[in-house]
Structure 1
Amino acid sequence: MEALARGEKAGRTCIVRDGYFRYAVGSHGVFYRETEYTIDVIRVLHQRIDIEQHL
């Protein structure tokens, strides 16, 4: 997560919601949005969770 905040790693575009990105951390996915000055974490979900139902 620190590398993401520093801009060293980028997440993949999330196909469930426009403007969301997904960054994998172990067996979890961090779903977030980027603004000009911040990264807003929306949800952290386990890989077995139905993403469409929980985002």
Structure 2
Amino acid sequence: MMETDQRQQWLQQLAYQVWEARGRPHDGHQQDWRVAERLLDAELALRHADDTEDRADVKP
């Protein structure tokens, strides 16, 4: 599980990247933050799925 401070840092970075990709508009920061949350949650879910799959492949 990701620590809260680390999650906030990742969200800030992702939201900034989303904002830049949108051309740095003067509005929409809440939308950028929500997009960043969805991106981060999707990334973490993929990592968790990969970890679970890797453990399932290990034979005793």
TM bucket by the smaller chain?
Answer: under 0.3
- What is the TM-score normalised by the length of structure 2? 0.22
- What is the TM-score normalised by the length of structure 1? 0.23
- Structure (1/2) with the larger helix percentage: 2
Say which structure, 1 or 2, has more relative contact order (CA 8 Å, 6+ apart).
Answer: 2
Kindly name which structure, 1 or 2, has the bigger radius of gyration based on alpha carbons. 2
